[in-house]
Amino acid sequence: MTCGSRIRLALCGVAGFGNRTLDPAGMQLNLFQWDLVETGNGYTCLARLAFEQAREHFARVLDAVPNHHKAGAGLQVVCHWEQVFREQAGMQAEAAVSFFWKQLAAFSFDNSEVNRELRANLFRYLQNLMDKGAFDYLPPDLCRGYLSLQLGDFVTAESQLRGLIESFPEEGLLYGYLADALWLQGRREIANGVYVTALLLDPQRVGVYAICNQRLAAVIVEHGASMAPVYGYLKGVLPLVEQEIAIDTEATRIYAVLRRAERARHRQDHAVAIVARRDLQVLAPKVFAAYLAFMQAG
């Protein structure tokens, strides 16, 4: 038997056709598409965290086509997560959760269906790790509410985050997660108020978190997270909310003066409004100019 014949028989066997009789057209189709089917099966197993089965599918393809890009990439992902699972298995509960979370947060997922399923199943695995360890919150960024949010259970996420915020009222990122949970329920007015609180409390962390409100995200890119509550209001993206927790920064002082000026304007308290505007002009001339333009436009 020639080398070419052996390859053809091997390919048919890998594709799962065994000793079936195939017509020439069918043979040609199987020869040129078996690798796509086998690679697809590998990615399906990968998404379900069936790493051993995924490895077998990718290895079959790579044995026949060593430079097969998709199979090679899939095998690399399998190796990565197999190593992560092995390492965390030998750790104490809290260390295992922290390690797995860091690996998950750092991994780059594309928007394909396979990667969405893989990401969701990894989050479910992390959720199980937290359940086993009875952990509600590992500061600064991991909590049950965030996992529920990522898994699409927005109502549960809201409940979990509200409960956690009662215990950690100054953690701004938790408000950012809560705002997303509300936004994804369609409760966008309430969500926008919570986004403001998040940004006033912790602009650094909230600023790098991928929030759901894309208009607000654009404001953050343009003006920075610290000043996003101010310019978000002036652009009609965010409301003005009362600062229930006092955080003294230049940005929060500017926000407080802007809020004072607007409250006085709406009450038609001209004396207080004039004083507040003067204070704003001294404190933040650029914001004052934007505020004048805002009033003229409205």
> What mean pLDDT comes out for the span 173-199?
98
- Scan for tokens 């006085």, then name that residue: 264
Q: What is the model's pLDDT at position 32?
A: 64
Q: What is the pTM of this model?
A: 0.87
CA dist 143 and 92 (Å) reads 18
Say if CB 122 and CB 104 are below 8 A apart: yes
Q: What is the model's pLDDT at position 8?
A: 34
Q: What average pLDDT is seen over the chain? A: 91
Please determine, for residue 215, whether its predicted confidence score (pLDDT) is greater than 70. yes
Q: What is the model's pLDDT at position 31?
A: 55
Q: How many CB atoms lie within 10 A of CB 179?
A: 28
The CA-based dihedral angle spanning residues 123, 106, 140, 101, taken in that order and rounded to the nearest 10 degrees: 40
> What mean pLDDT comes out for the span 19-37?
57
CA dist 162 and 218 (Å) reads 27
Domain ranges in the chain are: 252-298
Please determine, for residue 218, whether its predicted confidence score (pLDDT) is greater than 70. yes
